[in-house]
Chain A
Amino acid sequence: MIKITVVLLNIRFYFAFVSILGIGVFLPNISVAQIDTAKANQLQEVKITEYKNSRINLSPTPVQILIGSELKRLNSLSVADAIRYFAGVQLKDYGGIGGLKTINVRSMGSNHTAVFYDGVQLGNAQNGQVDLGKFSLDNLEEIAVYVGQKPELLMPARGFAAASALYLKTAQPIFSSGKKYGFGASFKTGSFGLINPNLSYKQKISNKISFLVDVSYLESNGKYRFRYRELAYDTTIIRNNSDVKSARVEATLFGLLPDSSKWNIKLYNYNSARGLPGAIVSNRFTFTQRQWDNNSFVQASYQNKKSARYNFMFNTKYAYSFMHYLDPEFKIQNGCLDNRYTETEWYISAVNLYKISNIWELSLATDYSLQRLNANLYDFAYPSRNTGLVAFASALNLNRLIIQGNILATLIAEQVKNGDQSANRQEYTPSLMASWQPLQTKDFRIRSFYKSIFRMPTFNDLYYTFIGNTKLKPEYTNQYDLGFTYGHTSNGKHLAYLSIQADAYYNLVKDKIVAIPGNNLGRWTMVNLDRVQIKGFETNIQTVWDLAAQLKLKANANYTYEQAIDISATAFRYGDQIPYIPVHSGSARFGIDYKNLVFNYSYIYTGERYSQKANIAANYVKPWYTHDLAVGVNFVCQQTRFFFNAEINNVFNQYYDVVLNYPMPGRNYRFTLSTNF
């Protein structure tokens, strides 16, 4: 016990130290060989709690984190399912396993969240959205969502360049002492004909080099029942054309150089074929549209030794995405609509961090990317976009006060082969954030941030046949946030951990890019028209209770209140809540760990919304709320450790739409068996 305490103290010190220095915090790997499993688990839990607490509590921007062990027990298949548990986040979900799922943070719009995969952004210049349903949780170690930005200096300039950021971090190869390799396997099955095996293999090539390969396959027929019961009709329909087959292969090589610098190279490929289930409208319940995706990238990172006064980080990436869309119902002269889009991206980033003194740091991050889009469309623009980002940042880490600020310069030049091109752009945007400890206790901090940033119009906004508008300006957001964090860990007490985050915020979205009626009836054109004012309050409470020797309870809750209103000068419905944003939303999770059993209950609530601009009865969308349950057991068979988890989702079989006319599944089941050796 003494030994553990010492270790804990060290960890605490380590976290406090590195966090205060504003350097990235990495989960330290502690050899668990000498301690027995229960204690190891306990230690692991404590470590995780401490780790999360230090990050949440010190962050001047609101951050919410889900870590490996939490992700495992969550009733979730993909990243999209997991982010529903975050406060201030709306998931736009078209239903089923294969339906498009995008994230919207604090109602600024899904184009305003940058998604990072192992530190490098997943770009999409075509429509600016990342489908989170395509990322499984199998190989993820951490999901974190930051409002504003990650409060760090040593990060690529793209990390400064979005109104909010979602970081997905894959598992690192960690070896038990003496072992040179490791296997991981899991198999999921359940409703919708789900078959989802996942395999991973890691190996130590030398003391300095190791690799990890992770492969998964997913298949689902996507069929589920949903029921419409209104007025005098009661109709049950089976969702059709919602099938999906996908495969993901990921291989990463990790290395250490003699001077302790770190590097890694990752290869990624995702391939899928799916049906596109359309909007369920009167008399039309079956669909035939198909989509194929092939996304690949290779990315490499290098970071010099951490403790140096001068830190350097380098990232580069090449990404290739191919999308094929087929609509057999759109009949043209020699066949049907058959669109193919190819997007490529070259990316390179270098970051320099210099510690002037113990309390003062400066950094300069420079990114360059080239994005190109090809399509087999008539008179297509074939746009390419050169983006240069330069972020100059500085942080002051005083005893009780952390202040960080930066200026980001964005330089954009585009070329097209046909038609007009969008003008070159130069934008300068600042952020400023602070976290202050007003009292003697380190547990309570007040924080605040301001950030001004924009999103560029996407290639679709600018160049899509008929609707595109090359005159579009960037869509700006201004965010103001004031809140507090309270985080207290007391090992040995019943209430082992209590964390409260609460923030009030005010956002303004200017020049919002929307579609308006075009120059001929039935056509739309993109314009910078709308203005949205968002006033919100969100809170997130997390607790861990050590109730008895092997009985632990985790209870988390979050709640968001949000007024997101249309204040466009041209608004026909000035002051109405914008579509799909509930005033009230929240979630609650309870987890119980008892010996080798884990139990999980979660509740998600989304209040009433409107599906269109006018807040009238015809556009009213009912609230929805789901209850999910899961029971898991850890067991050992033939000296191998297994985990079996059984889930019931949407226990009360509520039929609901997140997006109007895209029905969500009712009660459904999922079973997971996983192992590591």
Chain B
Amino acid sequence: MLNTKNKKIVLIDSDGRRVDGRRPDEMRDIKIKVGILENADGSAYVEQGNTKIYAAVYGPREVHPRHLALPDRAIVRCRYHMTPFSVEERKSPAPTRREIELSKVIREALTPAIVVEQFPFSSIDVFVEVINADGSTRCASIVAASVALASAGIPMRDLVAACSIGKVDSVLVLDVTDIEDKYGEVDLPFAMMPNRGEITLLQLDGVLRLEELEKAISMATKACKEIYEKQKKALKEKYVELRKAIIEGGKT
């Protein structure tokens, strides 16, 4: 195993493989399940390696407190939260400053895709629970939440796909794990609406030349298009399942 006491941690070996054996431009397997929380209007579960996330959408519904309602559109609220057991050392369930910031950036990543003008005086509430964290949790949260929004039947301009780019041992890598985030040089979370070609989340934490950044963005764009296909497939699967259930239900 890795020796964390020793400062020199090898994140890319001599064969160009990463700690978990992936190539730099290789994503972890992503599993997306739609509609798993019955009470929510829409929900999704995303598993990306050891990052595991539930997302639920409630709404459009009446706004509480009422004075927050807007006369021309729905408000979108988002809560990103990590369960106390999702990380190595127990995290207090109270929202941290990090979670407050991430809730905001996730909301701002999702809102451009939602046709909020159709629901004046209402709210669309997105809840994200990180069950197990192993890097790229905000990106996986966006992937899950955007599928949950679609499955809630909320009109959308596009789905939002997301992935992270890192730089470890001077190499740009796709889909950063926890250890690569901790000991790597750069973390760049990214989200976009693949069909519209609009970036809705872009953060950078680490030093990059602008040319490197350009390369990172094109890497992320390519990966988002792959994730987009998986999101669509997961949504379609759910509706094939539903349709089958309705037809079979009709027979009996």
Mutual binders A and B: no
Residues of chain B having any CB pair with chain A under 8 Å: none
Residues of chain A having any CB pair with chain B under 8 Å: none
